[in-house]
Structures are given as structure tokens and as C-alpha cells.
Chain A
Amino acid sequence: MSRYVFTATMVMAVVTYLVRMTPITLMRGRLKSRFFRSVLAYAPYAVLSAMTIPHILDSTASPLSALVGLIAAVALAMMKRGLLTVAVGASAAVFVAELFLIH
């Protein structure tokens, strides 16, 4: 393990822990700023969206098979399936698509 990877891991770990630990340990009331509350509420969905689109297209052997996987994931999510089902379903769709796309 390189020193860079180890230090970067610790940086991530400390930041993540502080984010989780601070409110539950220190804060007892509700955030007063509605604006800040709103930003915080939207941020998780914005970040997941920005991480997924368009990078999901690079996550498999071909952008086309990834697109098939994305469509499968969206369809399953629209059908209100759980996290595990959607993740496995997307993988299965990619697998099947690549049987046809990649020889």
C-alpha cells in the first residue's frame, strides 16, 4: 500500500466520520436556515445524479451495454424495486446485452 493511498484513505475516513458524528453528538435543535436545509436535502440526489450521468456509460465493456443497463435500472426503479433488485437487474441486463454486442 502506497503512502499516498493510505493518506488519502485517512483523509476520506476522517472527513466522512466528522460529517456523521458532529450533528448527532453536538446538535440538539433543528437547522434554522430553510435555504441551507433545502440545499442539504437536494444535495444527495444531485450528487448521485451527477455521478451516474454520464459516467455510468464507462462502467461496463461498452457504452451501449451500459445504456441498456441504465434503462433496466430506471425501469426497475420506476416499478419501485429495492436497491438490491435494481443493482442486480441492471447487471443482468448488461450481461445479456453483451452476449449480443460483444463476441
Chain B
Amino acid sequence: MKLSDFKEGALGGVPIALGYLSVSFAYGIMAAGGGIDPLSAVLISMTNLTSAGQLAGTQLIIDGATYFQIAVTTLVINLRYMLMSLSLSQRIDPKMSTGERLLVSYGITDEIFAVAYQREKAPNTPYMLGLISLPYVGWTLGTLLGATAGNILPERLCSALGIAIYGMFVAIVIPQCRKSHPCLVVVAVAAALSCLLKYVPVLSSVPTGWAIIICTVAASVLGAVLYPEEVDEV
């Protein structure tokens, strides 16, 4: 294992780890608030390592949803990783073995993907392991702290931190909407549908998990029909 590549990766992971620490702290508070015990919350973070996906999944667990609903929601929300994994497969060291690919793919997140993709040299296994290591620790530790110490924090602070994870979503969506008009349309349609499914009497009986799937699929398909050529790089 080349240490220099590992080090370079680990260095790139520091800001990601700090961001994850605070967001997973908010996740831990949210999970504990919904009655999930700290050990379960940490296990979810360690085995999932996703923000939006595990947040939605945890909400469904709290609501007592079926395994099928949980599986489909997780699939839909995390579908983007498929694209990132695909892009990364064109970019990584082609000599990477199947075993190494199986290992490294565990750590593909929005931020890790973005940093790895922007590396000048083709990312190899030591680099990827370095890049993943600190964010993984940050994500796990933040969850543990949020789920255990979250309830000794003043109520005001918990309330304020509750919005942190959504703030991160806004930070991912807005720049893309500024760059791309089609994306703005898709995002607006998804938000409007989501409001309809939450507030219109009959429609609001659709469980949250399905509502998110319906909004996502409808808005994305609409985007693909209206603006199929606009997206070539993601």
C-alpha cells in the first residue's frame, strides 16, 4: 500500500469528515427523538453511510413502514450513487481488482465521489481508502454523539440542529438549479408535488415513503421527457 496516496486521500477527507460530524450529529438527534436507540442509530450510520437515504429510511422505521417500502425508498433515494459509481468506474485506476472495487464502492457518497472525481491522477485503492476513512469515522462518531448527548443539549440547540441536514440538501440542490434551468424545473415540480401530497386532504393519506418516490419519479421522468439532452455530465 502506497502511503503517499493514502495520505493524500486522508487529507482530502478532512473537510468532508468535519461536515459529516455535524450533519450526522443532527441525524443522531433526529433518530433518538423518534425513539431509535443510540446503538441502532450508530449501526444504521456504519452500514449505510448516506445522508438523505438513511434519513428517509429512519423516518420510515419510526413510522413502522414495511420492509418493501423501506427498500424501495432507499433504492430510489440512493439511485444517484449508481451514476456516481458508473462515472467513477471510468475514472479510477483500471488495474483496480474486483475485490478492491467491492471494498472501495462501500464509501461512495456525494462528497467523496466529488473529491475523488476531481483528482488529477486516477484514484487508486490506497487513495480511496484514505479518502473514505475520516468521513466514515466522522459520520459514525457524530451519530453516536447526537443520539446520546443530543438530549442533554438545551432544547433550543436541538431544534436549531434539526434543520442542519436539510440545509445540506439545499446546499446540494441550489447550485445545480443555478447552473441548469431544467434542473430548476424538476426541483420545483418535485417540491410542488410533495406539498400536494402532504397538504391536500385525500392525497395526504399516501405514506411519506411512497410520496417521496412518486414525487421523485414523476419530476425526473418529466425532466427527462422535456429536457433529455441537457444532462450529459453529472
Mark contacts of B205-234 with chain A using CB atoms, 8 A cut-off: 1 yes-contact digit, 0 otherwise: 000100110011101110111011111101
CB distance from A69 to the nearest CB of B (A): 4
- B191 CB to nearest A CB, Å: 4
A56-B55 Cα distance, complex, nearest whole Å? 12
In the complex, which residue of chain A has the Cβ closest to the Cβ of B94? A28
Is the Cβ of B172 less than 8 Å from the Cβ of A43? no
B173 & A52 in contact (Cβ 8 Å cutoff): yes
* Main SS at interface, chain B: helix
Number of A-B contacts (CB under 8 A): 315
CA A72 to CA B168, docked complex, whole Å: 12
Contact A77 B77 (CB under 8 A): no
Interface string of B6-30 (1 = CB under 8 A from A): 0000000001001100110010000
* Complex Cα spacing A39 to B216, Å: 10
- State how many angstroms separate the Cβ of B87 from the closest Cβ of chain A: 9
Known contacts A40-B80, A87-B165, A94-B163; decide if A46 and B187 are in contact (CB<8 Å): yes
Of A50, A55, A56, A61, which one neighbours B219 at CB under 8 angstroms?
A: A50
User: B22–A88 contact, CB under 8 A?
Assistant: yes
Interfacial chain B residues near A8, Cβ < 8 Å: 57, 60-61, 67, 70
**How many of chain A's residues touch chain B, expressed as a range?**
35 or more
- Return the chain A residue nearest B171 by Cβ: A86
**For window 41-87 of chain B, which residues contact chain A by CB distance below 8 Å?**
43-44, 47-50, 52-57, 60-61, 64, 67, 70-71, 74-86
Contact between A5 and B83 (Cβ–Cβ < 8 Å)?
A: no
**Separation in Å of the B68 CB from the closest CB of chain A?**
9
For A98, the chain B residues whose CB sits under 8 A away are 156, 159-160
Range for the number of chain B residues in contact with chain A: 35 or more
Contacts of A56 in B (CB 8 A): 163, 166
A60 to chain B, nearest CB (A): 5
Instruction: Determine the chain B residues whose CB is within 8 A of the CB of A69 once the complex forms.
Output: 160, 163, 166-167
Question: Is A32's beta carbon under 8 Å from chain B?
Answer: no
* With known contacts A46-B187, A50-B193, A10–B108 Cβ distance under 8 A: no
Write out the residue numbers on chain A whose beta carbons fall within 8 Å of the beta carbon of B170: 52, 70, 73-74, 77, 86, 90
Is residue B202 contacting chain A, with contact meaning CB distance below 8 A?
no
Checking A2, A15, A24, A85 against B78 with a beta-carbon cut-off of 8 angstroms, the contacting residue is A15
Closest 10 CB pairs of A and B: A90-B167, A77-B174, A38-B224, A44-B80, A86-B171, A50-B215, A13-B47, A53-B191, A87-B167, A95-B160
10 more contacts with CB within 8 A, not counting A43-B220, A70-B163, are A25-B89, A28-B89, A46-B189, A50-B211, A50-B219, A51-B169, A61-B159, A70-B170, A73-B167, A83-B171
